[in-house]
A and B are shown apart, each in its own frame.
Chain A
Amino acid sequence: MTGSIHWPTAVLVAGTMLLLWLGVTLLRRSRRSGFISETDRATYATLHTASLASRHLGEGLSPESAERAGRHLLSILGAQAVSIAGPGSVLSWTGTGEHHRAQAVDLGERTLETGRTVAHPEEVVACGDPECPLRGAVTAPLVTDDLVVGTLTAWTQEPSPGLTRATEEVASWVSSQLALAELARTRNRVMEAELRALRAQISPHFIYNSLAAIASFVRTDPDRARELLLDFADFTRYALRTGGTFTTLAEELRNVERYLVLEQARFGDRLRVSLLVAPEVLTVTLPYLAVQPLVENAVRHGLASKEGVGHVTITASDQGSEAEIAIEDDGVGTDPERVRAILDGAHPHDSMGLGNVDARLRQVYGDECGLVVETAPGAGTRVSFRVPKFAPGVHAQH
């Protein structure tokens, strides 16, 4: 052979080596697990099953979540069947003997009333069917906020004190998971309330100022007054809309435009605005009302306490898989410590918009996508944030 390689052989050899390596790795892994004792392994298995179940319980108590969590609970309890029931209805049944399903509500009644764990003897549970393995049951309460919201029943061949104890423990674990779900729901509700607060918060100053500015044009320039009123109407419709949570940057900029037209009616030539946009990012999806409050902030802080002309610059740039949006003013600036306090929510009345936008951005895209504020007294302010062009579950609604 003079240096040339027989390729089929080479591929075969390479393939064999790969398979061998895989085999050795797998073998080694299975050996390594041999060092874990039986008890440890049982503990790990239980913990793992519990974590699987907790994922489903995170959605709260519903037929779907109960159905999916039930499978894992059954394997933890080692009973014949597990059922979860709410007041008056059975949410799920996992395991054998589903013809007992209707019974679950009746058996749960006493637990629902008293909040105590009840073991049901054979004469209550057993059906006539000699094949049926279910001869006993233990019902434990599911409690959130001191309220019994449901029952967990383990069905077995023979009720034992061990099973009663286990069922009670599992039920209290499920209860704590449900409490966590409730907490998550509360947090979402708070976020929604904050969003609503933001909508409502835009209005007072701005509505008053806009209407006053429009009023000043009614006699001198009725056409302009009419235009401004229409802009005002469109702006409020957008700001107070009840649709989805997300919109596109193009849509958001359109609303910023309406806002600025109204502000310019008031400030006239004192307010200079420039916009620089890479057209690729106009289709990017972002939380709605993410830009307008920042512009409002820049106009207010860039102009209000300053003599002469104020510049506000809005830029949107394309950064590969992300878009960066920045709002800059050449106003008086702020102490960075103050901004930090505002973003932490310490001054809720001062710059509600800033803290709220920051919180919503973090909630949607994670902590690395919050607001970045660069400022110092006398040096103007630059507020920027980055949004990924694609994030799972984020879609603009029109």
Chain B
Amino acid sequence: MSHPLSIVAVALVCLTTLVVGGFGLRLSRRTSDFYVAGRTVSPRLNASAIGGEYLSAASFLGVAGLIYGSGIDMLWLPVGYTLGYLVLLVMVAAPMRRSGAYTLPDFAEARLGSRAVRLVSSVLVVAIGWLYLVPQFQGAGLTLALVTGAPPWVGGFVVMVVIAAAVGAGGMRSITFVQAVQYWIKLTALAVPAFVLLLLWVRSGHPAPVVPPQWHAPLSPTGPGDHPWYRTASTVLALCLGTMGLPHVLVRYYTNPDGPGARRTTVTVIALLGVFYLLPPVYGALGRVVFPVLPGDVRGDSIVLRIPGELAPGLGGDLLTAMLAGGAFAAFLSTASGLAMSVTGVLDQELLRPQLARLTGGDSPGAGGFRLAAVLAVVLPYLLSRLIEPLGLATTVGLAFTVAASTFAPLIILGVWWRGLSVPGAMAGLVAGGLGTGLSLATTMARGDLGGWPGALLANPALWTVPLAFAAVVLVSLATPGRIPASTARVLVRLHTPERVTLARSRLRD
């Protein structure tokens, strides 16, 4: 296959990730430039960054693979991925920004003032981050193995080393700028080949895709024990509510200067994702044209990378494959570095710093602890990605969304909109949602899909775990009215008051 070109493309993307951050810094040598340098990140740039961080291996490779394999029901996936931002926009974007929280544990602490809830949130953030990182490493291994013939562990290893370096270096780089560039790399790398391939397809007399009948019948069962309605609804619910609970999404919102900025960013994100998600179905359908059946032991996830070679053999195909491989690597790197950054922050702050402080007798551990956390944050999921049998990129990512939807979504939504939320209530929701999804996912991962109702309920648990978590929060909160934080009214006023309004009380105090 196309060794040299693809290797060049992948190397370029890795280099971009490490180097381009320096250009995003605001530098001024004259005081007259100060004003420009001090301006906060515009919603448009920030939206590109969120898009860049959000579009992972699952979106770049996984969705097309699932559409190729399972048919048009999978079109719900891109819808769900985007819908999450609509929910975020309507319900939490601006209040979250006004809370001043940088991470989800910060939000829990700001809203509830409880160290225990903060600790549980931290554990969940790390769990979700790792669960989300595993498919990124697997995707990288798959891609590099396919385009260069390297053993499967190499790709994940490259991604791991690059992001550990990027996160550990930290400091004087603009992550926002890196991620924004990654979005446009990904969009270009997926769009240009798509148009070229479509053109080739039209010129070759546009042969129809070869598909079995249930491929284009919506919500048709593939077997007797299949429950497509339940599974689809559950997946969409997980994606809808999961987005707000992903650790790397909230961190980007902190960069917005205020609530309205957060809303404008979200609207732009929805537009950017909408454009991007037009493309994977094209690859899914083209895949059906080129490969009526999947040859041998090939995984659906690799379908995107295989199409150019079949449709345009020779240098042209090699170029397109190299482009797609580079784009895919951009997807792994950007998502993985965003996740690794969040997990590192939480590990450093909650776990390592207190321990190191104890070891060094209160001396500030400085950057050493942060670097150690960065290494920890990526090495563990990398090892996991080598141990766990690949489930399919989009499926594993879906599991991370499910955990987020069943734990953080109730905490955030009720935390923003309900005065009655008590500390034990929040804790009950996190624990119930976490245990429910955790056990289902562990069973599914260990045993595979069980088939029938048990299989559907355990593989796509969101439709029962999300209501369970919400019910746990509400019921326990109602049962413990004494444990509603005293600061609730004050915090909610701050979350919901537009920035331009000066509160009468604060004016009185002046």
Contacts and interface: CB of A to CB of B under 8 A. Distances in A.
B449 to A, nearest CB: 13
B24 to A, nearest CB: 7
B115 to A, nearest CB: 10
A241 B93 CA distance: 31
Contact of A321 (B102, B364, B502): B102
Contact of B110 (A11, A261, A317, A392): A392
Interface residues of B, number: 54
B257 A283 contact: yes
B35 A257 contact: yes
Interface string B310-353: 00000000000000000000000000000001001100110000
Contacts of B31: 257, 260-261, 264, 273
Interface stretch (A155-163, A208-216, A248-256): A248-256
Contact of A279 (B35, B255, B348): B255
Contacts of A250: 38-40, 257
Contact of A7 (B27, B40, B443): B443
B506 A244 contact: yes
Given A253-B34, A390-B102, A390-B103, A282 B41 contact: yes
Interface in A247-287: 248, 250, 253-254, 256-257, 260-261, 264, 272-280, 282-283, 285
Contacts of A392: 109-110, 113
Give the one of B31, B174, B177, B257 with max A CB within 10 A.
B31
Contacts of A390: 100-103, 106, 110
B374 to A, nearest CB: 9
A398 B501 CA distance: 10
Interface string B87-121: 00000000000001111001001100100000000
B175 interface: yes
B176 interface: yes
Contact of A320 (B100, B174, B341): B341
A278 B29 CA distance: 15
A282 B174 CA distance: 12
B170 A319 contact: yes
A315 interface: yes
Contact of B25 (A248, A256, A278, A398): A278
A275 B113 contact: no
Contact of B349 (A248, A257, A264, A321): A321
Interface residues of A, number: 42
B510 interface: yes
Interface string B16-52: 0000000011111111011101111100000000000
Given A261-B31, A276-B172, A285 B100 contact: yes
Contacts of B344: 320
Interface of B: 24-31, 33-35, 37-41, 100-103, 106, 109-110, 113, 167, 170-177, 254-257, 341, 344-345, 348-349, 364, 367, 370, 439, 443, 446-447, 494, 499, 502, 506, 510
Given A282-B38, A321-B103, A321-B349, 5 more contacts: A277-B38, A278-B26, A317-B172, A394-B100, A395-B494
6 contacts: A250-B39, A254-B38, A279-B25, A282-B38, A320-B341, A320-B344
Interface of A: 7, 11, 242-244, 248, 250, 253-254, 256-257, 260-261, 264, 272-280, 282-283, 285, 315, 317-321, 324, 368, 389-390, 392, 394-398
